[in-house]
Amino acid sequence: MLGLPRSTEFNKRIPKQKFYENLAGTAALKRIFAEQVKSVYWRNKIAVTTMNIAAGTAVTEIEVFEIRLNQPQIDENVLRQIDKVIPYHILFLLEYEGKHKAVIGYKEAAAAGSKAFAIMRYYHTDWLPLDEMPVKLEGLNIDAIYENFVRQVAADQLQINDKDSIKHAIEKEEKRRRLKKQIAALQNKIRKEKQLNRQMQLNQELKMLKWTLEDLV
Protein backbone atom coordinates (compact mmCIF):
# COMPACT_ATOMS: atom_id res chain seq x y z
CA MET A 1 0.00 0.00 0.00
CA LEU A 2 1.29 3.47 -1.00
CA GLY A 3 4.37 1.81 -2.43
CA LEU A 4 5.77 1.18 1.05
CA PRO A 5 8.41 -1.57 1.45
CA ARG A 6 7.00 -5.07 1.84
CA SER A 7 9.00 -5.39 5.06
CA THR A 8 6.66 -2.81 6.63
CA GLU A 9 3.47 -4.74 5.79
CA PHE A 10 1.38 -5.82 8.78
CA ASN A 11 -2.11 -6.35 7.31
CA LYS A 12 -3.93 -7.18 10.52
CA ARG A 13 -7.64 -6.58 10.95
CA ILE A 14 -8.49 -4.91 14.26
CA PRO A 15 -12.02 -5.27 15.69
CA LYS A 16 -13.34 -1.72 15.93
CA GLN A 17 -14.69 -2.27 19.44
CA LYS A 18 -11.08 -2.58 20.66
CA PHE A 19 -10.84 1.20 20.41
CA TYR A 20 -13.63 1.94 22.86
CA GLU A 21 -14.55 -1.22 24.83
CA ASN A 22 -12.69 -0.22 28.01
CA LEU A 23 -14.02 3.33 28.19
CA ALA A 24 -16.96 4.42 30.32
CA GLY A 25 -19.79 6.46 28.89
CA THR A 26 -19.07 5.69 25.24
CA ALA A 27 -22.58 5.00 23.93
CA ALA A 28 -22.39 7.88 21.44
CA LEU A 29 -18.92 6.86 20.29
CA LYS A 30 -20.01 3.22 19.90
CA ARG A 31 -22.92 4.37 17.76
CA ILE A 32 -20.62 6.47 15.56
CA PHE A 33 -18.21 3.55 15.10
CA ALA A 34 -21.11 1.22 14.25
CA GLU A 35 -22.70 3.61 11.77
CA GLN A 36 -19.63 5.00 10.05
CA VAL A 37 -16.88 2.37 10.26
CA LYS A 38 -17.08 -0.90 8.35
CA SER A 39 -13.65 -2.26 9.31
CA VAL A 40 -10.16 -1.24 10.44
CA TYR A 41 -6.91 -2.69 9.10
CA TRP A 42 -3.42 -2.09 10.42
CA ARG A 43 -1.65 -2.08 7.05
CA ASN A 44 1.93 -0.97 7.71
CA LYS A 45 4.42 -0.32 10.46
CA ILE A 46 7.23 2.09 9.56
CA ALA A 47 10.04 1.69 12.07
CA VAL A 48 13.75 0.99 12.34
CA THR A 49 12.80 -2.67 12.91
CA THR A 50 10.89 -2.95 9.63
CA MET A 51 13.08 -0.99 7.20
CA ASN A 52 16.53 0.49 6.80
CA ILE A 53 15.92 3.93 8.28
CA ALA A 54 17.49 5.98 11.06
CA ALA A 55 15.66 6.43 14.33
CA GLY A 56 14.03 9.75 15.17
CA THR A 57 13.92 11.74 18.39
CA ALA A 58 10.20 12.62 18.47
CA VAL A 59 8.67 9.76 16.46
CA THR A 60 9.23 6.13 17.40
CA GLU A 61 7.25 4.53 14.58
CA ILE A 62 4.46 5.34 12.14
CA GLU A 63 1.43 3.10 11.69
CA VAL A 64 -0.69 3.09 8.54
CA PHE A 65 -4.34 2.33 9.32
CA GLU A 66 -6.90 1.73 6.59
CA ILE A 67 -10.43 2.50 7.74
CA ARG A 68 -13.17 1.21 5.43
CA LEU A 69 -16.27 3.36 5.75
CA ASN A 70 -20.01 2.85 5.36
CA GLN A 71 -20.38 6.46 4.24
CA PRO A 72 -18.10 9.15 2.75
CA GLN A 73 -17.81 11.13 6.02
CA ILE A 74 -16.18 10.22 9.29
CA ASP A 75 -16.58 11.91 12.65
CA GLU A 76 -13.23 13.30 13.77
CA ASN A 77 -13.85 11.77 17.21
CA VAL A 78 -13.32 8.34 15.65
CA LEU A 79 -9.82 9.30 14.53
CA ARG A 80 -9.09 10.99 17.85
CA GLN A 81 -10.13 7.86 19.74
CA ILE A 82 -7.87 5.64 17.63
CA ASP A 83 -5.02 8.12 18.03
CA LYS A 84 -5.66 8.10 21.78
CA VAL A 85 -5.54 4.31 22.04
CA ILE A 86 -2.49 3.79 19.81
CA PRO A 87 0.65 5.34 21.39
CA TYR A 88 2.35 5.90 18.04
CA HIS A 89 1.99 8.28 15.12
CA ILE A 90 -0.67 7.25 12.59
CA LEU A 91 -1.35 7.89 8.92
CA PHE A 92 -5.02 7.09 8.24
CA LEU A 93 -6.24 5.91 4.85
CA LEU A 94 -10.01 6.15 4.63
CA GLU A 95 -11.66 3.96 1.98
CA TYR A 96 -15.13 4.37 0.52
CA GLU A 97 -16.43 2.85 -2.71
CA GLY A 98 -12.96 2.19 -4.10
CA LYS A 99 -11.47 5.63 -3.42
CA HIS A 100 -9.17 6.71 -0.63
CA LYS A 101 -8.56 9.81 1.46
CA ALA A 102 -5.38 10.24 3.52
CA VAL A 103 -5.83 11.87 6.94
CA ILE A 104 -3.13 12.76 9.44
CA GLY A 105 -3.05 14.71 12.67
CA TYR A 106 0.07 16.44 13.93
CA LYS A 107 0.64 14.27 16.98
CA GLU A 108 3.14 15.03 19.74
CA ALA A 109 3.68 14.01 23.34
CA ALA A 110 1.39 15.95 25.67
CA ALA A 111 4.26 16.27 28.16
CA ALA A 112 7.92 15.30 28.32
CA GLY A 113 8.21 11.57 28.96
CA SER A 114 4.44 11.11 28.68
CA LYS A 115 2.81 8.33 26.70
CA ALA A 116 -0.22 10.56 26.09
CA PHE A 117 -0.40 12.51 22.86
CA ALA A 118 -2.01 15.77 21.83
CA ILE A 119 -3.44 16.33 18.35
CA MET A 120 -3.42 19.93 17.17
CA ARG A 121 -5.45 19.43 14.01
CA TYR A 122 -6.24 16.86 11.32
CA TYR A 123 -5.36 17.40 7.66
CA HIS A 124 -6.68 15.42 4.71
CA THR A 125 -6.43 14.92 0.97
CA ASP A 126 -9.38 14.75 -1.41
CA TRP A 127 -10.96 11.40 -2.29
CA LEU A 128 -8.58 9.86 -4.86
CA PRO A 129 -7.70 6.56 -6.51
CA LEU A 130 -5.07 4.93 -4.34
CA ASP A 131 -2.38 5.18 -7.04
CA GLU A 132 -2.90 8.97 -7.20
CA MET A 133 -2.42 9.50 -3.47
CA PRO A 134 0.26 12.22 -2.94
CA VAL A 135 1.88 10.36 -0.05
CA LYS A 136 5.44 9.14 -0.49
CA LEU A 137 8.10 7.75 1.81
CA GLU A 138 10.64 10.58 2.00
CA GLY A 139 13.21 11.34 4.69
CA LEU A 140 16.40 10.03 6.23
CA ASN A 141 14.87 9.23 9.62
CA ILE A 142 11.47 8.51 11.16
CA ASP A 143 10.96 12.13 12.26
CA ALA A 144 11.53 13.41 8.72
CA ILE A 145 9.25 10.77 7.18
CA TYR A 146 6.43 11.78 9.53
CA GLU A 147 6.88 15.51 8.90
CA ASN A 148 6.87 14.87 5.15
CA PHE A 149 3.64 12.86 5.48
CA VAL A 150 2.07 15.87 7.22
CA ARG A 151 3.33 18.23 4.50
CA GLN A 152 2.11 15.96 1.70
CA VAL A 153 -1.34 15.40 3.16
CA ALA A 154 -1.89 19.00 4.31
CA ALA A 155 -0.66 20.54 1.02
CA ASP A 156 -2.18 24.04 0.70
CA GLN A 157 -4.16 23.62 3.96
CA LEU A 158 -0.93 24.53 5.74
CA GLN A 159 1.26 27.54 4.91
CA ILE A 160 4.88 26.47 5.39
CA ASN A 161 7.91 28.53 4.44
CA ASP A 162 11.46 27.24 4.28
CA LYS A 163 12.30 28.55 7.76
CA ASP A 164 9.28 27.03 9.53
CA SER A 165 9.18 23.72 11.30
CA ILE A 166 5.95 21.76 10.92
CA LYS A 167 5.06 22.49 14.55
CA HIS A 168 5.63 26.23 14.15
CA ALA A 169 3.63 26.32 10.91
CA ILE A 170 0.70 24.51 12.52
CA GLU A 171 0.79 26.77 15.58
CA LYS A 172 0.70 29.84 13.29
CA GLU A 173 -2.14 28.32 11.28
CA GLU A 174 -4.13 27.75 14.47
CA LYS A 175 -3.51 31.37 15.52
CA ARG A 176 -4.73 32.53 12.09
CA ARG A 177 -7.84 30.39 12.42
CA ARG A 178 -8.64 31.77 15.87
CA LEU A 179 -8.02 35.36 14.75
CA LYS A 180 -10.29 34.96 11.72
CA LYS A 181 -13.00 33.62 14.01
CA GLN A 182 -12.55 36.58 16.39
CA ILE A 183 -12.64 39.03 13.47
CA ALA A 184 -15.87 37.54 12.10
CA ALA A 185 -17.51 37.67 15.55
CA LEU A 186 -16.39 41.27 16.09
CA GLN A 187 -17.63 42.36 12.65
CA ASN A 188 -21.01 40.85 13.47
CA LYS A 189 -21.02 42.67 16.81
CA ILE A 190 -20.21 46.00 15.11
CA ARG A 191 -23.11 45.58 12.68
CA LYS A 192 -25.51 45.14 15.61
CA GLU A 193 -24.11 47.96 17.76
CA LYS A 194 -26.34 51.08 17.89
CA GLN A 195 -24.09 53.48 19.82
CA LEU A 196 -21.57 55.40 17.70
CA ASN A 197 -18.92 55.64 20.43
CA ARG A 198 -19.08 51.91 21.02
CA GLN A 199 -18.87 51.26 17.26
CA MET A 200 -15.69 53.35 17.08
CA GLN A 201 -14.18 51.43 19.98
CA LEU A 202 -15.03 48.07 18.41
CA ASN A 203 -13.66 49.20 15.03
CA GLN A 204 -10.35 50.03 16.70
CA GLU A 205 -10.28 46.53 18.22
CA LEU A 206 -11.05 45.13 14.76
CA LYS A 207 -8.11 47.01 13.23
CA MET A 208 -5.78 45.58 15.88
CA LEU A 209 -6.94 42.04 15.17
CA LYS A 210 -6.48 42.53 11.42
CA TRP A 211 -2.98 43.92 11.94
CA THR A 212 -2.12 40.92 14.12
CA LEU A 213 -3.43 38.59 11.40
CA GLU A 214 -1.36 40.34 8.73
CA ASP A 215 1.77 39.92 10.85
CA LEU A 216 1.34 36.13 10.91
CA VAL A 217 3.31 35.45 7.73
pLDDT tens-place string over residues 132-155: 999 999 999 999 999 999 999 998
Q: What is the pLDDT of residue 25?
A: 62
Q: What is the pLDDT of residue 21?
A: 81
Residues 9, 109, 102: CA angle, nearest 5 degrees: 40
**Could you state, in order of their start, the residue ranges of all structural domains in the chain?**
6-158, 170-215
pTM here is: 0.79
- The more confident residue out of 24 and 214 is 214
Q: What is the pLDDT of residue 178?
A: 86
In DSSP terms, 44 is beta-bridged to 9, 64
Closest listed residue to residue 102, CA positions, set 36, 155, 50: 155
pLDDT, average across residues 168-197: 87
User: Is residue 144 exposed (0-12), middle (13-18) or buried (19+ Cβ within 10 Å)?
Assistant: middle
Q: What is the pLDDT of residue 136?
A: 94
Give the chain's mean pLDDT.
Answer: 88
In DSSP terms, 101 is beta-bridged to 94
* Residue 103 Cα distances to 15, 39, 160, 199, angstroms: 20, 16, 18, 43
Q: What is the pLDDT of residue 94?
A: 98
* Residue 72 Cα distances to 3, 75, 109, 201, angstroms: 24, 10, 30, 46
Which pLDDT tens digit goes with each residue over 20-40?
887 766 788 889 998 999 999
Q: What is the pLDDT of residue 115?
A: 61
Q: What is the pLDDT of residue 175?
A: 83
Which pLDDT tens digit goes with each residue over 72-122?
999 999 999 999 889 899 999 999 999 999 999 987 766 655 566 778 789
Q: What is the pLDDT of residue 116?
A: 67
